[in-house]
Homo-oligomer: A and B are copies of this chain.
Amino acid sequence: MYYCVIIVLSIIYGVKRVKYQKPLSSAVRRRLPRYYRYLSTLLELGISKISSKDLGNRMGITSSQVRQDFSSFGGYGLQGYGYDVKTLHQEIGNILGLNTIRNMIIIGAGSLGQALAKHKEFEKKGFKVIGIFDVKTELIGQKITEHEIRHLDTLPQFLENNQVDIAILTIPENFGREVAAYITELGIKAIWNFVPIELKTPDDVIVENIHLIDSLMVLGYNYKHNRHE
């Protein structure tokens, strides 16, 4: 009877543990891809177990930070034993949704847009470019990888026939706001923004910025003052 109660409680606890997932803080979310990359490397090196101390050392963060982060999405570590690299790698991949395909379109077929279209790393992680758009007549019809550049005017029709998860914006700065308004009106809910402006979008639209010039300015500052992050 006693054992029975323990077993039942364990099952309930186990189920709850799997189902209950607190929203991760912004800082943890930012660290997840880094953990994922490190764990990928460990797997490649054939390392199957790692302690929070060892992982923290490699990543330049404290072991308590590692433990706290991992416990925030469910644990997986055993005292004195460390983490199972494969399990953890898989679990973080799941949390990041890498087991699902995300369809992306690129708006702005200049050199940066084309470079992103050709970037092989994205598709390996489930992020697949399915269309490239621009407004410059001379670009329309040109082929970038397997995609013909389409006119942005054809986007509504494209969205009717294709499930698009993410729009990558690599257009000139002066078109940024207008195009962001246009695509969110068409129902785009996630934007990877390379335009060096802050986009104003509806509340249900997620924007992730790559502000290249900001990053370069920070590097310039840190170089001048010899500062590390």
Contact = CB atoms under 8 A, between A and B. Distances in A.
Nearest to A36: B217
B37 A214 contact: yes
A226 B210 contact: no
Interface in A20-45: 23-24, 26, 29-30, 32-34, 36-38, 41
Interface residues of A, number: 63
A221 B41 CA distance: 22
Given A33-B214, A210-B215, A190 B221 contact: no
Interface in A180-229: 189-190, 192, 196-198, 204, 206, 208, 210-229
B214 A208 contact: no
A122 B36 CA distance: 31
A40 B211 CA distance: 15
30 contacts: A23-B227, A30-B214, A32-B217, A32-B218, A32-B221, A33-B211, A36-B217, A37-B197, A37-B198, A37-B213, A41-B197, A60-B198, A96-B221, A97-B220, A97-B224, A102-B223, A111-B111, A111-B118, A112-B115, A122-B212, A127-B216, A166-B216, A166-B219, A166-B220, A190-B222, A192-B219, A206-B223, A208-B218, A208-B222, A210-B210
